[in-house]
Amino acid sequence: MQHTSEYLTCAGREIHYTEWGAQHSATVIAWHGLARTGRDMDELAAHLSTRYRVICPDTIGRGLSQWSPDPQNEYQLSFYARIAADLFEQLNIPKAHWVGTSMGGAIGTVCASGLFEPAMKGRIQSLVLNDTAPQIAEPAVERIKSYAGNPPAFDTMLALESFFRQVYKPYGWLSDAQWRRLAETSARRLPDGRLTPHYDPAMVQQFTHHPNDYLIWDHYDALDIPVLCLRGADSDLVLRDTTTEMQTRGPGAAGRLQVVEVPGCGHAPALNVPDQLERVAAFIATASQLAASAT
């Protein structure tokens, strides 16, 4: 399935996104994780694009999107939500389903709650949290900060790919071709010609200037939509105690939460193999039917 590469100015910053299945009206937003890009969602977007328009943004400071000139204030969930709200408006998206990996799931949560962007309330029909939760484990955050804030540089693409294979081993199985594409779509050259991951290292300031940015129980408690939480069975970011608490609050207390453990993965499942793709597609299809019956 073909996709197009597009750019918009959202909240005053240039944002890159890929668009799949543009002929469809029903829309899915697929948002990547902290130090990643929208191209991580290629397999999911291709799978869903037979039925849905799928939009896969690069967050500000990642991939082909503009780097923030004000990292202390803009690398945080409230600003990401402002970008998402502007994206919805400019792309004429009245409602959409949201699939988010890690940070992308947190952005989806705060958008769906409407607490940061009231105009977004009611516009997200369902939410897939791919190995993220309203509270994440601090040791995992420290692990991520240890590599994300000081990305290494390599002389060759094969060396960079080897690094990605090591650091993202918890993603689970990827084919050699998928690892190669991940490396090639995640690389930028430094002035000295070496290769490094394609993001602004200053984005890690989210954790130093906004240390509680991912403590978002108030947003989760405000959700009134179906939620699917995919937890990597070996995840160090989403603890089982947290998913247990999720079952008693917000959409969990209302019977609108499903928690599924994904075997063979840590943080976070790559959403690239049939069982993961089909589970997400089935959840969105059921949520679409529920939304249609409620109108």
The 10s digit of each residue's pLDDT in 35-90 is 999 999 999 999 999 999 999 999 999 999 999 999 999 999 999 999 999 999 99
236 contacts 266 by C-beta, under 8 angstroms:
yes
Rounded to 5 degrees, what angle do the CA atoms 111, 81, 71 make?
A: 150
pLDDT mean over 204-216: 95
- What radius of gyration do the chain's Cα atoms show? 18
Q: CA torsion, points 91, 68, 207, 166, in degrees to nearest 10?
A: 80
* pTM for the structure as a whole: 0.97
Average pLDDT, the chain: 96
Instruction: Inform me whether the pLDDT recorded for 195 exceeds 80.
Output: yes
Question: Which residue's entry shows tokens 């993202």?
Answer: 168
Q: Report how far residue 150's alpha carbon sits from residue 200's, in angstroms, rounded to the nearest whole number.
A: 10
Comparing CA positions, the residue from 251, 266, 228 lying closest to residue 99 is: 228
pLDDT band per the 50, 70, 90 thresholds, residue 143: confident
Q: Report how far residue 170's alpha carbon sits from residue 168's, in angstroms, rounded to the nearest whole number.
A: 5
Instruction: Inform me whether the pLDDT recorded for 145 exceeds 90.
Output: no
The pLDDT of residue 181 is: 98
The answer, yes or no, to whether the previous bond of 253 is cis (omega within 30 of 0) is no
Reported as half-sphere exposure (CB side, CA atoms, 13 A), residue 161 has a value of 15
The pLDDT of residue 74 is: 98
Q: Report how far residue 131's alpha carbon sits from residue 197's, in angstroms, rounded to the nearest whole number.
A: 22
Q: Which residues contact 59 (CB under 8 A, 6 or more apart)?
A: 31, 32, 65, 80, 83, 103, 104, 107, 203
The pLDDT of residue 295 is: 66
38 contacts 174 by C-beta, under 8 angstroms:
no
| 266: amino acid identity, one letter | G
pLDDT band per the 50, 70, 90 thresholds, residue 23: very high
Rounded to 5 degrees, what angle do the CA atoms 137, 142, 144 make?
A: 95
Higher pLDDT, 128 or 2: 128
Ordered by where they begin, the domains of the chain are 3-137+211-293 (3.40.50.1820)
The pLDDT of residue 1 is: 62
Q: Report how far residue 254's alpha carbon sits from residue 213's, in angstroms, rounded to the nearest whole number.
A: 25
The 10s digit of each residue's pLDDT in 162-186 is 999 999 999 999 999 999 999 999 9
The 10s digit of each residue's pLDDT in 232-291 is 999 999 999 999 999 999 999 999 999 999 999 999 999 999 999 999 999 999 999 988
Burial of 236 (0-12, 13-18, 19+ CB in 10 A): middle
Q: Report how far residue 75's alpha carbon sits from residue 279's, in angstroms, rounded to the nearest whole number.
A: 31
